[in-house]
Amino acid sequence: MSLPGDTVAILGLGLIGGSLARALRSSGFARQFIGYGHREPSLRRGVELGVIDDFSLDLDEVIERADILVICAPTLVAADLLQQILNRVGHDSDGPVITDAASVKGNLLQAARQACGGNMPPRLVLGHPIAGSERSGVDASDPELFRHHRVILTPVEGNEAAAVELVRDMWLSTGAEVVSMGVADHDAVLAATSHLPHVLAYALVDALAQSENSDEIFRCAAGGFRDFTRIASSDPVMWRDIAIANRDALLNAIDLFSEHLGQLRQAVADEDAAGMQETFARAKAARDAFSVVLAEQGRGTKT
């Protein structure tokens, strides 16, 4: 059995949702794109730009018309929206396929089960495109945003195979590389590679900004510091919500990091030259290998 994908509803029309609609229109994956959200100007702008064909502020209408609902709202809003949808379609309906693009998966799975009396809705397939831009909003949307980027799907037991396939096909048609992973693995991996680095960058910049010689510190900082702290310019509200949604995995990642930092601190305190060199060299080897992987994936040569 195959499911239709003719009409895609984008719930939350920003950079990610707008880019997805544009990519799917350009690939011919779907013919009709409806926007939904609470900010009418963004939706009007989306129609003006030809990103969506139409929009509605009425969730029931959107659910009624769409074959696929893609929740592109921020992490905590996404969980609310998912519950509102599931309260309407139930958990075993032959309604639309539901997916999302949020940064954390565990909180959405929990929200879904809560809305469905502990069951997993068979047509809910959680996903996460690892792509972004320093710009935001539908005006910044780009049909090429996902090309050569990874999209992680986290199908679970109880998922309808055809629904998983439809969501996979949707992302493949944007030029993305689609991989599958368990929900807990996804959240641990994202905590390590994204959520923890953001927390570290915020903590470092805040510590330095509050220190006595902060003027001299920022005046004398150079390129390495600029790269290292760039992510501390990210949206505080978005990252607050991600930290809340992925609390446990983030705490684990912070603790793992702190343990390693503590060991390195001890090596510095002891002037343990061999220990430091060993750690630095091991890290350099891992980072150099990561550069090679990135370059092979064509995700930019600046490694």
- By CB under 8 A, residue 250 contacts its own copies: yes
- Min. distance of Cβ 132 from its own copies in angstroms? 7
Residues binding its own copies: what is the number (CB under 8 A)?
Answer: 95
Among 41, 117, 226, 301, binds its own copies (CB under 8 A): 226
One DSSP character per residue, 89-138 reads H-SS-S--EEEE--S-SHHHHHHHHHHTTTPPPTTEE-EEE----S--SG
Measured on CA atoms in the order 143, 147, 152, 156, is the torsion positive or negative?
positive
Measured CA to CA, the distance from residue 30 to residue 68 in angstroms comes to: 10
- By CB under 8 A, residue 295 contacts its own copies: no
Retrieve residue 263's tokens.
């060991």
- By CB under 8 A, residue 65 contacts its own copies: no
Q: How many CA atoms lie within 13 A of 134 on its CB side?
A: 4
Q: Please check whether residue 127 is in contact with residue 151, taking contact to mean a CB–CB distance below 8 angstroms.
A: yes
- By CB under 8 A, residue 265 contacts its own copies: yes
Q: Please check whether residue 70 is in contact with residue 99, taking contact to mean a CB–CB distance below 8 angstroms.
A: yes
- By CB under 8 A, residue 271 contacts its own copies: yes
Among 50, 137, 158, 236, binds its own copies (CB under 8 A): 236
Residues 6+ apart with CB under 8 A from 275: 267
For its own copies, which stretch binds (CB under 8 A), given 81-89, 102-110, 156-164, 216-224?
216-224
Kindly tell me which of 28 and 302 has the beta carbon lying closer to its own copies. 302
Q: Determine the straight-line distance between the first and last CA of the chain, rounded to whole angstroms.
A: 44
Among 2, 224, 298, 301, binds its own copies (CB under 8 A): 224
- By CB under 8 A, residue 289 contacts its own copies: yes
For its own copies, which stretch binds (CB under 8 A), given 5-13, 48-56, 64-72, 204-212?
204-212
Kindly tell me which of 57 and 261 has the beta carbon lying closer to its own copies. 261
Among 26, 110, 114, 193, binds its own copies (CB under 8 A): 193
- By CB under 8 A, residue 87 contacts its own copies: no
Kindly tell me which of 94 and 219 has the beta carbon lying closer to its own copies. 219
Cα–chain-centroid distance for residue 272? 40
Strand partners, 204: none
- By CB under 8 A, residue 190 contacts its own copies: yes
**Which residues inside 95-154 make contact with its own copies, applying CB under 8 A?**
130-132, 149-150, 152
